[in-house]
Amino acid sequence: MSPDPVKGLILVVEDERAISDLLRLYLSREGFGVQVESDGLAGLSAARTLHPAAIILDVGLPSMDGTEICRKLRAESNWTPVLFCTARDDEVDRVVGLELGADDYITKPFSPREVVARVKAVVRRAVQAASSEGPLNLGEVIVDPVTRRVTAGGNPVQLTATEFDLLEHLITNQGRVFSRDQLLSEVWGYAAIVGTRTVDVHVAQVRTKLGDYSPIRTVRGVGYSAELEP
């Protein structure tokens, strides 16, 4: 059974194998992709490179504490939703008291069903926050996240769901350059099920449909960005 690409990848950073196995089982049953790291530094690196939809972060970890991972990500303006797993009440105090930018926390022992429900909630909130800003525009291209309509030079453009998501993502983050792997993870949601060639194909289709109004720029050796010609 392959994961539903819409749901995205959940990064689980947890050094207790029994817990990470359980989380992997329950999350993948719900259609999420799951990446498990059992070490703090590896977890931080995965959070930076995989662009997961959410992170389940244990507090006590080898090589780097979960709170330190969250602090570093927030310092880099990485706002991936973080759900902390805490083993003791004093850890809850640290997570809550330090204002680390955690989205939620849960105390061990927990029910895997509850963790899944919390993960769904933080992912949903993040999606709503990203799409609550009304129509986006870049030059003559207008993208409405609510109606999912696109116009270019005042004319409606018919995009597939994935083409829309791709264009919306680039325009939301206009000026930022994305690698193909980043786009796969952030737009397709689950990097492992399609290859990076898919990104090129979809970019080409969006460009064709937008014609001269297309704001998508190829950054040689890196990937793509949306910006107006200087």
Where do contacts with Ca ion occur on this chain (CB under 5 A)? Answer: 15, 58, 60
**Could you tell me if 135 and 143 are in contact, meaning their C-beta atoms sit under 8 angstroms apart?**
yes
Q: Which is nearer to Ca ion, 15 or 186 (CB)?
A: 15
Q: Which amino acid is at 50?
A: L
CB atoms within 10 A of CB 187: 22
Nearest distance, CB of residue 57 and Ca ion, angstroms: 10
Which residue number places its CB atom closest to Ca ion? 60
Q: Which is nearer to Ca ion, 31 or 60 (CB)?
A: 60
Nearest distance, CB of residue 66 and Ca ion, angstroms: 8
Contacts of 97 (CB under 8 A, 6+ apart): none
Q: Which is nearer to Ca ion, 15 or 168 (CB)?
A: 15
Nearest distance, CB of residue 38 and Ca ion, angstroms: 9
The angle at the Cα of 127, spanning 126 to 130, to the nearest 5 degrees, equals 85
Nearest distance, CB of residue 106 and Ca ion, angstroms: 13
Q: Which is nearer to Ca ion, 85 or 191 (CB)?
A: 85
**Could you tell me if 33 and 3 are in contact, meaning their C-beta atoms sit under 8 angstroms apart?**
yes
Nearest distance, CB of residue 61 and Ca ion, angstroms: 6
Contacts of 79 (CB under 8 A, 6+ apart): 101, 126
Query: How far is Cα 194 from Cα 2, in angstroms, rounded to an integer?
Result: 12
Q: Which is nearer to Ca ion, 104 or 181 (CB)?
A: 104
Pull the structure tokens for residue 58. 């244990």
Nearest distance, CB of residue 60 and Ca ion, angstroms: 4
**Alpha-carbon distances, residue 20 vs 11, 113, 167, 173 (angstroms):** 10, 14, 35, 33
Q: Which is nearer to Ca ion, 58 or 186 (CB)?
A: 58
Query: How far is Cα 28 from Cα 41, in angstroms, rounded to an integer?
Result: 24
| SS3 state of residue 207 | helix
